[in-house]
Amino acid sequence: MARAYLFVATCLLAGIGGALGSILGHAVGQAGLWAGGVVGGLLGAVAGVAVARRLRWIAPRQFRPAAIGAAIGFLAAAAIAVNTLSSPIGPVLSTALVGVGALLGAARENRPAGGDDR
């Protein structure tokens, strides 16, 4: 169940961060709108992982790989969303990439140490 919470937290906070960043960046202009959305979304994705660590949904050692995965997932989601703005399906579904990235990152650090993966 903790994995589902991690997925939802990162997707939700990345989306909120992206929206708030866009709103704040819009005051600077069109470029600020895009830059603010990306920066806000990245911060939100990492914040989602931080919440998961704080609530013990992930182990502290999983924070960094999960945060990197969530950030990469957000960047991929942003690229897809920008190219599918004519339909609500692309931007909405691409948000799931943030949660998938966080899950993959957390799972990467969940493997037993010392194995050489042969």
Confidence class of residue 58 from pLDDT cuts 50, 70 and 90?
Answer: very high
85, two tokens: 């703005």
Determine what percent of the chain is predicted with pLDDT higher than 90: 74
pTM, two decimal places:
0.87
What was the pLDDT predicted at 117?
Answer: 47
What was the pLDDT predicted at 89?
Answer: 87
Relative orientation angle of helices 30-54 and 2-26, to the nearest 10 degrees: 150
Section 1-28 average pLDDT: 94
Judge contact between 36 and 24, C-beta under 8 A. Answer: yes
CA dist 74 and 46 (Å) reads: 10
Confidence class of residue 112 from pLDDT cuts 50, 70 and 90?
Answer: low
